[in-house]
Every structure is written in structure tokens, then in C-alpha cells.
Amino acid sequence: MRLSQILYPNEILSPGMRGDFHVGMPCRDSRNVKPGDVFFCIDGATEGGLSYMREAEHAGAHAIVLEKGDMARTRGMSIPVIEVENVRESYALAWSRALGMPQKSLRLFAVTGTNGKTSVSYFLSELFRMAGYRTGLIGTVEYSDGAHSTASDYTTPPPEELYPLLLEMKEAGTNLVVMEASSHAISQARLFGLTFETGIFTNLSRDHLDYHKTWEAYRDAKAGLFRNSRNSLLNLDDDAAQYMGFAANADVYYYSGSNPNAEFFMSAIRCTASGSHYLLHTYEGECIPVEAPLIGSFNVYNSAAAIAAARLAGLPAQMLSQAAKKLTAPPGRLEKLATCTDFSVFIDYAHTPDALEKALLALRPIAKKLTVLFGAGGERDRGKRPEMGRIAEENADFVIVTSDNPRSEAPEAIISDITDGMKKENHICITDRKEAIEYAVTHAAAGEVILLAGKGHENYICDKAGKHHFSEREIVYQILKG
């Protein structure tokens, strides 16, 4: 492969840099550089990519690619240094081109929003598969080519993982790919160069301000998806919907449970302990009866988004009505554990104020007593901690505040931030999450519902000692086993 195959001449800003030569693969981690690779100077969470140029050179890189304005720091390099307008965008394009642009053979769908990305992605992929399409899935829980799956490391993987996944899917005969699009991924240009048949917006609430710094920057990152979507399907009942619509470059469709003028309108909504029931009216005059075994009003919106996207993709209304009866929630999304007890235990990934509130409201009608156990992640947005404490005490009968991936922070300090937002006396603090779960389970009464919030599908915990195994399912079953 030659340099001109992954970096086109018109993308190179370096004066006099017009030569062409053999290169290996694009690389952004100097520890992984192989002889011949092209090293892209991309900043990490704590250090700039320029700091590792000489390591990459020593490892045998054939060229260095950096952003416009950084050339002054490259004096003394013995290999070509290439200046580009945006190094992250160039890196994504380089991976796409190096692997033959596999996305060109796939129909791509993406879901963004603070909450609901995983559920909508799962539901949409299930609908496509029930319609006979081999469908890939890329998201928080797993990466799947439609036949085989592996646990995921990212909600939206970086280009060096994303494009090999897309290539594997293409070679496996996958027809469609549904992926989650995180705000980090969009702002870091991981999806640059991809065009989505449909981009879906679920909702926007406080999250990731530790990274984006401001609400506006977070909102703008989400909106970036719709600049590269042929269809934008947006939740009209969210305050940010119109902003997303203005960002869209092509056709815009709205779905709503309150506005009958939306292209997809939900009516006769009824949520029970066994599922959700509603009618989905389409802009084409169809009425799709939906009976889905999914609890919670938020799953009305999640399933409606998936069904609407599937309808836009050409799936028949009657088929979708039948398929909705077979939809299943993703692992760790309001998942009821098989405890065989007179009380119930649910696990959910809710780790934002909005998601926690929605999970509690979904369980409230089926609980004689509602207990929630939760914490907040370390090294993340501190501002949401007291808000989550307030929401927990207002919507649950009893609250257990505990640890949740404290990372390098002291768990007790995080718990203190949470309880700063709590005014009632209906809570206790147990720092050790395993001990907290044991307390909740051993003190449960008949008819009680326990929500273990924050971990969901995760089978690990991150603390000062690093990342190690921690499965809430296993812990609950061990406690019940005695």
C-alpha cells in the first residue's frame, strides 16, 4: 500500500510534501507501531500525540501525520512529517481507505442520545433480523456480525477497531449495521467519512460534562450525527429535538407521544407490569398496533424509535407489528433476575439522573416497596451526583448509596457528593458495593422491588486497584444460595 492510497495529495498541507512511498497501516499508539506504519499524532486523555513522535520514529514508522500548526515541534525528525487540516478526520479516512472502504457495501444506521442508545440499537437490529436481514450491531454491550458476538470495549470504537469490524461484517455477508454513536466518538471524528441511512436521536440530559465541559458542547456533539444522515429520526418530545433537526442535512422525521403532527405518533399508550401497548401512526396513514414485552414508558419511546426507523428502511407495517411482540431488552437494561423469591431484583445501567428517574418510575407501579442501590462513577461529572441523590430519595422508598467505578477517587467522597442532594432520612450509605447488595437482598420483604442501578451489563468494577471482576448477577445468586 502506498501513502497516496490512505492520504490523498490534496489533503496534505505540507509544502513540498508530494512524494509517494510504501507504507504499512495507520496507527495512533506509538506502542503499537510496526515498521512501515504511518503514525498519526492524536492527543490522548492526558498527553498530546506529539509527545510520542520520536517513539514512533524509533519503532520504524515511515511517516508522521500531525495537525496544521504543529510543524515547528518536529525539527530533527528523520522521516517525512505530513501536515493535515484535521488529524482525527485524516486518521478515520486512512483506516477506511486502508481496508477498502467496507462501509460502502453496508447499510448503516446510528443511534445517539443520552439514554436509550443501547435499547434502540438492540430493538432495531432485532427487527431487521426478524425480517431476514443479517444485521451487525456495534454498541455498549457487544459487537456482533449477526452470527457471532464479542463483548465490547467502547460504545463506539475508534477507527482502528471500527473499520476491521465493518470489514468482517462485509465479508460475513452482513447486510445492515446498527451502531451506537456516543458524543465522545462524534466529537473525536471516529465516524468521520461514514454516511448513515438513518440517524436516530433519543433524548438529551446531563452527562459527560467532565469531558465536554459545557451543555452546549455536549449538545453540539450529538447534533453532529445528523449532518451525515440521509434520514434523521428525532424524538420531538425532547427539548433538543428542534436543534437536532436544524443540524440535519437531509430529510427529518419526528416521533412523539404527545404531538399528533409528528411523522410517527404514538397513541393509546398503556404500560403494564408485563409490557407496553400503543398504536404507532405513520406519516403514510398507517396504524401499527404495538404490543411489546418491555416495561416502562421509556421503552415505549425506545421501541417506537426502532419501529419507525425500520419502517423508513422499508420493512412492512404488518410485519413490524408482529415482530414487536418478540422484542427483548438488552442485558442489564431493566433486567429482572430469576431469583425465585417473593421479592424482585432488577439490574439497570442507569447512571445519569434522567435514566435513574425513568427506571424508578417504571418500577414504581409494580412495587409494594421500592429500594434503589446506586453510586456514581469517579473521575466523571461531579455535578450530577447530588441530582441523582435527590431523584433517588424522591422516587424510591429506601435508598442505599454505594460505590460505582470510583476509579482513582475515594468512594466515600463520591458518596458524600451524592448525599449532599438528599434531604430525607430514607437512605443509608454502604461503601462496599457487594456488602450493599447483600444488605438489600437479605433485608428484602415480600412484594419489594430492588433496583441495582449503574452497572447493568458490566461485569467489572474500576477502583484504585484497577479493573477487576464484579458481577451483580453472580453476587445476588450467591447470596440467595446461602
Q: What CATH number belongs to 102-324?
A: 3.40.1190.10
The C-alpha cell of 173 is what? 455477508
Name the β-bridge partners of 31: none
Choose among 292, 202, 299: nearest CA to 255: 202
CATH 3.40.1390.10 domain span(s) along the chain: 3-98
CATH 3.40.1190.10 domain span(s) along the chain: 102-324
Nearest-angstrom CA–CA distance, 320 and 282:
12
What pLDDT score was predicted for residue 16? Answer: 66
What pLDDT score was predicted for residue 189? Answer: 96
Q: Which CATH superfamily is domain 3-98 in?
A: MurE/MurF, N-terminal domain (3.40.1390.10)
> How many helices, marked H, and strands, marked E, lie in the chain?
16, 23
Q: What CATH number belongs to 335-481?
A: 3.90.190.20
Rounded alpha-carbon distances, angstroms, from residue 208 to 289, 351, 391: 37, 11, 18
Cβ-proximal residues to 414 (8 Å cutoff; 6+ apart), any chain:
375, 376, 378, 385, 403, 406
pLDDT in tens, the chain (482 residues): 999 999 998 999 887 666 689 999 999 999 999 999 999 999 887 778 888 999 999 999 999 999 988 887 788 788 999 999 999 999 999 999 999 999 999 999 999 999 999 999 999 999 999 999 999 999 999 999 988 999 999 999 999 999 999 999 999 999 999 999 999 999 999 999 999 999 999 999 878 878 888 989 999 999 999 999 999 999 999 999 999 999 999 999 999 999 999 999 999 999 998 999 999 999 999 999 999 999 999 999 999 999 999 999 999 999 999 999 999 999 999 999 999 999 999 999 999 999 999 999 999 999 999 999 999 999 999 999 999 999 999 999 999 999 999 999 999 999 999 999 999 999 999 999 999 999 999 999 999 999 999 999 999 999 999 999 999 999 999 999 98
What pLDDT score was predicted for residue 18? Answer: 60
Nearest-angstrom CA–CA distance, 402 and 260:
43
Please give the span between the terminal C-alpha atoms of the chain, in angstroms, as a whole number.
61
Buried-exposed string 415-427: b where 16+ CB fall within 10 A, e elsewhere: bebbbebbeeeeb
* Residue 265 CB-density burial (10 A; 0-12 exposed, 13-18 middle, 19+ buried): buried
CATH 3.90.190.20 domain span(s) along the chain: 335-481
What pLDDT score was predicted for residue 74? Answer: 81
Three-state SS for 22? strand
Choose among 454, 291, 427, 447: nearest CA to 365: 447
What pLDDT score was predicted for residue 48? Answer: 81
Cβ-proximal residues to 149 (8 Å cutoff; 6+ apart), any chain:
137, 142, 143
Cβ-proximal residues to 386 (8 Å cutoff; 6+ apart), any chain:
417, 418, 419, 420, 421, 422
